[in-house]
Amino acid sequence: MADCMQEWPEPVVRVQSLAESGLSSIPRRYIKPPSDRPMAPPAAASAAELVSDVSIPVIDLGELLAGGGGDVVAITEAVAAACREWGFFQVVNHGVRPELMRAAREAWRGFFRRSLAEKQRYANSPRTYEGYGSRLGVQKGAVLDWGDYFFLHLAPEAAKSPAMLWPANPGDCKEVSEEYGREVVRLCEVVMRVLSVSLGLEEEHLHRAFGGAACGATLRANYYPRCPQPDLTLGLSAHSDPGVLTVLLADEHVRGLQVRRGGSGEWVTVQPVRDAFIVNVGDQVQILSNSIYKSVEHRVIVNAKEERISLALFYNPKVDVPISPAPELVAAADGPALYPPMTFDEYRLFVRKKGAMGKAQIEALKGQASSPEN
Ligand SMILES: O=C(O)CCC(=O)C(=O)O
């Protein structure tokens, strides 16, 4: 296994350079099996122009952040309902300055606009994934996604990606991303407190269980170029996120994120609200809550007219803490614990090897718990 994680199994092709070469049909390795393809858009509309009349909830955190004077109970209930029904919600008045959000997005847009030769200096390997990448997973012959990305560790300090791995251009990319990371991590801590209370746990329960100040944060800047055959492929295949929470800053102009309604229903295209973040719970929340809250599959569609950019901040457990269902929740529901204890280091290896594979990892783990005490 160690060997297959050193190198990509095939030469890496940048999707951006493919798109910019002006090809009119996509290479076979990007063509998804029919069951995985996005639904054909109605005539004359690109996939990204589809608007659904159902949408994930939008939750205003303003009163909560203002210091408890407002209706904290109502906000907690709204978060609980969103987690049960969707596993996703948008937050507004979340405390992160809109200018900082825009600056972070523009810094990464600037990076993807640099020359291919410059971007190649940061080419990543599957050993850590840090840097400029164009695939997730190391399975030879896998069908690939229509997107490039840049991946970095932001926290904890000891795990932070070294300065040489950060883009030198735009000149403010590192500074802006670090400030952005600190602010979004603060927001994650707020959301975790709300989640704890919504589960009937003590406010700091989740934060402590996931490793406290040693929790991790990583950033993936996703870049989805224009695609001449968007109905045959995906920008990012269906997956749930392995960590605790994901906070996504979506493109302000171009839709692309789709969420599986109710965990197994139809794909719903998310319409981002201005200056909002899209938040979703990851597999570790499903494990710790003993499946009261479930991580939900999502994917990204691409389109022929416009490129798209998004920044995903993944808030993760401390890598070496065994995570298992909270005993209080197991007891309250009369057990059993559905998942055995597992560290995040062990858990994320699956994703690093296999790439985006729906909910395969957490489903495989389910049922391996040997006793209610697990
Ligand atoms: O680009 C998006 O909208 C979603 C990105 C995502 O799901 C991810 O980076 O895991």
**For residue 373, is it within any domain?**
no
Say what the pLDDT of residue 359 is: 85
Say what the pLDDT of residue 4 is: 63
Q: Whose CA is nearest to atom 8 of ligand 1?
A: 312
Give residue-wise pLDDT tens across range 353-373: 777 778 888 888 886 775 443
Q: Whose CA is nearest to atom 4 of ligand 1?
A: 257
Expressed as residue numbers, the domain containing 331 is 3-29+52-365
Instruction: Give the mean pLDDT of 73-97.
Output: 97
> Residues with Cβ < 8 Å from 247, sequence gap 6 or more?
184, 187, 188, 277, 278, 279, 312, 313, 315
CATH number at residue 255: 2.60.120.330
Say what the pLDDT of residue 284 is: 97
Instruction: Give the mean pLDDT of 302-316.
Output: 97
Query: Ligand 1 pocket check: which of 298, 313, 357 to mutate, most ligand atoms within 8 Å of Cβ?
Result: 298
**For residue 374, is it within any domain?**
no
**For residue 123, is it within any domain?**
yes
- Quote the mean pLDDT of the chain: 92
Neighbours of 148 (CB within 10 A): 25
Which residue, among 306, 263, 313, 291, has the nearest Cα to 88 in the 3D structure?
Answer: 263
- Number of domains into which the chain is organized: 1
**For residue 191, is it within any domain?**
yes
Is the pLDDT reported for residue 44 higher than 50?
A: no
**For residue 157, is it within any domain?**
yes
Q: Are 221 and 173 in contact (CB under 8 A)?
A: no
**For residue 42, is it within any domain?**
no
Label residue 51 by pLDDT band (50, 70, 90): low
Is the pLDDT reported for residue 108 higher than 50?
A: yes
Q: Whose CA is nearest to atom 5 of ligand 1?
A: 312
**For residue 220, is it within any domain?**
yes
- Ligand 1 geometric centre to CA of 68 (Å): 32
Euclidean distance between CA atoms 129 and 95, whole angstroms:
30
Is the pLDDT reported for residue 45 higher than 70?
A: no
Handedness of CA 134, 251, 38, 24 (dihedral sign): negative
Q: Is 137 in the pocket of ligand 1 (CB under 6 A)?
A: no
Give residue-wise pLDDT tens across range 210-269: 999 999 999 999 999 999 999 999 999 999 999 999 999 999 999 999 999 887 789 999
Which residue, among 261, 325, 314, has the nearest Cα to 291 in the 3D structure?
Answer: 325
**For residue 40, is it within any domain?**
no
Segment of 33-42, 139-148, 343-352, 354-363 carrying the highest mean pLDDT: 139-148
Strands (E), the chain: 58-60, 88-92, 131-133, 148-155, 216-224, 236-239, 245-249, 257-260, 267-269, 277-281, 298-300, 308-316
Q: Whose CA is nearest to atom 3 of ligand 1?
A: 257
| Least confident among 9-18, 62-71, 302-311 | 62-71
